[in-house]
Structure 1
């Protein structure tokens, strides 16, 4: 789970589970969305200095959520983006893509970027829903492979036929965005082209993989633990 081109930390609930924390600690590049820089400073002061010293830490946003003193202290790594068309998560994503492209130009790597999103749920529910939905936009429009990790599981946007690694009694939810066909193998209850988001929730994996035959966009959520 840790082979990510960049990790983006939003200013929702700071992760406590070992999986998202492991992703944070092993980040090749950690981009904090505005106020998340302060949150990281509060929760992991040693980590923030290590990542900064290694040139792996960045802050992105309009800066309105940061105290003036902290903004001055981290002026060397904070990149102000004043436009209001996109939220801070998208600003951070665009910045991450720019870093990855610059690195790719230098070393010649051409793999599709994988980005992990942490701290993007919790606090305001409208922000949570918006951030989850943005994963689909990033997959479709930004040519990256995004995944959002919480303290309970992770969201993966998908398009068309896909195979997901699973384990017995792992819990899975499927959210249909644009499929008229959404068939599955490896679930306790067969999936279909759900009309409502709640219809695909609380399913269960029956083995080591789940495969989908689909003709559009959908989102898969998997838990870390079996039920």
Structure 2
């Protein structure tokens, strides 16, 4: 069963992206608990300014002052190639350094909308191609890429969205509106849990979103 994301959720590593810095108490607590935090470029400066020290800072360095890069040269890893973005570069770094499989992605939304969409879509890539268990956590909830039959811990009136990637059938139990193999992303959005669990059954991959708070 996929458990609710709380302040005590455990991850092998965290990637902190250079979007809007987390303000919700859950992602902030997770940042304080995890020892393997890798920052994407400018997020490293934000993280250090908040009194923390990351395992590494990954990127092309275009959003970091020269003085900062020199001061933290032992943990700054310059990767100039532009085929992948900094989120993927940080993910590859973690995979090369640790056996981590469960990775939380924070600070990956906000600011530019194109970056937000790209980062969310990468969760499915990391799940399918890298065989990771990624979770993107925002100030409002979290995204989980998955496939097949799955059970998720929920609570009544928790808001849930389902984004179908490759399912030809996609059934559910425990949602206010039963799911199906949505043809468009918007069709599976804005659903709602009615009890303490929901069950999903699909024949392909799909992306789930859950809110921290119940709908009032």
Q: How many residues align?
A: 208
Does the 8 A contact of 1:181 with 1:214 survive in 2? Answer: yes
Q: Output the CA distance in 2 between the equivalents of 1:28 and 1:156.
A: 22
Partner of 1:211: 199
Q: Distance in 1 between matches of 2:39 and 2:115?
A: 16
* 1:1-227 to 2 correspondences below 5 Å: 1=5, 2-42=9-49, 44=50, 46=51, 48=52, 52=53, 57-101=55-99, 113-227=101-215
SS, match of residue 77 in structure 2: strand
CA distance in 1, matches of 2:30, 2:128: 24
Distance in 2 separating the partners of 1:97 and 1:21: 23
C-alpha separation in 2, matches of 1:80 and 1:138: 22
Local SS of the residue matching 2:114:
helix
User: For each residue in 1:82-120, what CA deviation from the matched residue of structure 2 results, as whole angstroms up to 9, or x when unmatched?
Assistant: 21110000000000111213xxxxxxxxxx710000000
The answer as to whether partners of 1:4 and 1:28 remain within 8 angstroms in 2 is no
CA–CA distance in structure 1, aligned partners of residues 132 and 35 of structure 2: 16
- CA distance in 2: counterparts of 1:70 and 1:97, whole angstroms: 26
1:135 CA displacement: 0.1
Please give the root-mean-square deviation of Cα atoms over the aligned residues, in Å. Answer: 1.1
Q: CA offsets, 1:175-217, max 9 Å, x none?
A: 0111101000000000000011110011000111111110011
Q: Please list every run of at least 4 consecutive aligned residues from structure 1 whose deviation after the TM superposition is greater than 4 angstroms.
A: none
Task: Find the counterpart in structure 2 of residue 107 from structure 1.
Answer: none
